[in-house]
A and B are shown apart, each in its own frame.
Chain A
Amino acid sequence: MRASSAAPLVFVLAVMATGALAQDAVEKEVGSCLECHGEPDFTTQLDSGETVSLTVDKKMILASVHGKGLRCTDCHAGMGEIPHPERKVKDASEFHAGFRDTCKPCHFDKYALSLDGVHAKQLAKGNEAAPGCVDCHGSHDVSPSSEPRTRISDTCAACHPDVADTYMNSVHGKALAEGNPDVPVCIDCHRAHDISDPRVTSWLVKTPELCARCHTDEAKMKKYGLSTNVVQSYLSDFHGVTARTSRARGVDTQGGARVTALCIDCHGVHDITATDAANSPVLRANLVKTCRKCHPTASESFPDAWLSHYEPSLEKAPLVYGVKVFYVVFIPFIIGGLVLQVMLHLWRVVVNR
């Protein structure tokens, strides 16, 4: 009992002491390792005949987030001995794979999340090109991955250039380039570590919930003069009811079978535009074309079946509003009258007795 209550204090002291000592130790160790690894053409040849570079840039590593706290051997365990113990590495891909779990001991939370991610699943399937930690974060040059924010989409763009291009031309991407802090970057929708496969039906059908995170945020939407009713009005209409209660929510089939029109089906995904842009697929002039993506026989008046996220009112859809109001009055009138008659009858029965 006593030992465990003292443990946090001991831990904190230990960390503080390490912190103070670390600086020297890091500089010292980096210095000694770099006597060899600082050489510009320091390489080794693998069994496959491939040559891999073992050169490390001193300035780069000291400028990285780990430059002030980690020693070389914290990541390169077992390399403290000189000469290094001999290792059998077949080829370059195996050489790099050897570092996949390097970050795990310190960043276990992120590591665990990444195991649920689409990249780890690709790797498990044998796709060696699937990125691990260092492919996104860098290795000796690790620096805060979201500073500046545009760096996030640049990171994804390295492997996903087409979709990144499309995104950068969207209303969100253009605003990001201008330094807007509110627009979503890749990871706001796709997440950073536990990235879901966006082609899986059960994930797709839940995407309105992603859009809702920002588009129901009163303060955020007010800045841009956007309505926060867009999600509720969608959810209460035919497509939205389907999205929210479809059997597909539990179906993990790949291939992205379309269940119903989701936000992205009308507004676009990575190519989303402002709703009043000339090329916007939801502009009334372009809307029939958009409807016809799913309803090929839609007539010119079909899009008017959708009240464009507006609640019926005297200005918007007065007829629909009128019928709504009629029932608001009529239902209580009828039911009230009938209940009143039932009560009167019961009263008379009691009086008769």
Chain B
Amino acid sequence: MKETFVRFSLRQRVEHTLVMSLFIILAVTGFPQKFSDAGWARGVLRLMGGVEIARGLHRFAGIAFAMLAVGHLGTAIVLVATGKSRLSMIPGRKDFADAIKTLRYYLGASDEQASFDRFDYRQKFEYWGIIMGGLLMVATGLILYFPLIVTRLFPGVVIPLAKVAHSNEGLMAFLVVLTWHIYNAHLNPDVFPFDFTIFTGKISRHRMETEHPLELQRLTGDAPPREDPKKGA
């Protein structure tokens, strides 16, 4: 019997599925607007039945994304405050040390690998990227959604500012997902072709030993297994 650990709760798995779906809808309805100069973009908009439909879907998905973000941050604050969750996503000094250690290992300057706790520095980077980028997208998206209200309180230039930021931040988020997330969840030889953990919530003992030894030690009280660094991930 393969021993597995529960890594993600049902709530976290549902959150991921929702973020993933909304991200795809927002990208599919957003980029044809950003690149409306291009033939492919106009083709996509025609398929959707015109830019009006694309904008409607985009705003609907955006509102849902905003509510999801508020729900997530609210839940996180409550869980931490009531002691039901640890501050495992907060980056610390160890994360910077881990990053340097890992880069030295990749470059072949050292054979020592960093040992990670529940989330490694790459996962924290991606998480905070989504949180900060997401909040920026929500804020600028709302400005673009309600320009008449916004310009009653702020100068008119906030509208083109929000547009430039929204459009570029969206492009960057898309490119990060395309390169970084697709690599880490799919193309990385350690998980290829598909890391199912975020969907099943389960992770094998072997992967806990190699990827999250410090967490494993905390959970079981075992000493982290000494791995031959050459064999590890």
Contacts and interface: CB of A to CB of B under 8 A. Distances in A.
Interface of A: 235-236, 238, 241-242, 244-249, 295, 297-299, 301-307, 312, 317, 319-320, 323-324, 327, 330-331, 334-335, 338-339, 341-342, 344-349, 351-352
A21 to B, nearest CB: 56
A304 B157 contact: yes
Interface in B160-182: 160-161, 163-165, 168-169, 171-172, 175-176, 179-180
Given A245-B51, A301-B156, A303-B156, A348 B108 contact: yes
Interface residues of B, number: 46
B123 to A, nearest CB: 13
B172 A247 contact: no
B148 A302 contact: yes
A331 B179 CA distance: 12
Contacts of A346: 189
Nearest to B45: A245
A86 B42 CA distance: 62
B197 interface: no
Given A301-B155, A339-B179, A342-B179, A323 B36 contact: no
B227 to A, nearest CB: 12
A3 B175 CA distance: 67
A307 B189 CA distance: 49
A342 B188 CA distance: 8
Contact of A324 (B45, B49, B164): B164
B36 A305 contact: no
A298 B146 CA distance: 11
B159 interface: yes
A320 B163 CA distance: 9
Contacts of A342: 179-180, 183
21 contacts: A241-B36, A245-B36, A245-B45, A245-B50, A247-B50, A247-B51, A247-B53, A299-B152, A302-B151, A304-B155, A320-B160, A320-B164, A323-B161, A323-B164, A324-B164, A341-B103, A342-B179, A344-B107, A348-B105, A348-B108, A352-B231
A236 B188 CA distance: 39
A249 B157 CA distance: 30
Contact of B49 (A247, A303, A327): A247
Cβ-closest 9 pairs across A and B: A247-B50, A304-B156, A305-B159, A327-B168, A344-B106, A245-B51, A305-B156, A302-B151, A245-B45
B191 to A, nearest CB: 12
B36 A319 contact: no
A348 B37 CA distance: 42
Contacts of B148: 295, 297-299, 302
Nearest to B107: A344
Interface centre among A303, A306, A342 (most CB of B within 10 A): A342
Nearest to A324: B164
B147 interface: yes
Contact of B33 (A241, A345, A347): A241
A331 B175 contact: yes
Nearest to B233: A349
A299 B148 CA distance: 7
Chain A CB within 10 A, most for which of B106, B107, B176:
B106
Contacts of B147: 302, 305
Given A319-B157, A323-B164, A344 B103 contact: yes
Interface in B117-168: 147-148, 151-152, 154-161, 163-165, 168
Nearest to A321: B164
Contact of B157 (A235, A305, A341, A345): A305
A304 B103 CA distance: 48
A323 B154 CA distance: 18
B151 A299 contact: yes
B157 A247 contact: no
Contacts of B156: 301-306
Given A297-B148, A330-B172, A338-B180, A245 B165 contact: no
Given A307-B160, A319-B161, A323-B165, A247 B52 contact: yes
Contacts of B42: 244-245
A246 B188 contact: no
Contacts of A301: 151-152, 154-156
Contacts of B52: 242, 246-247
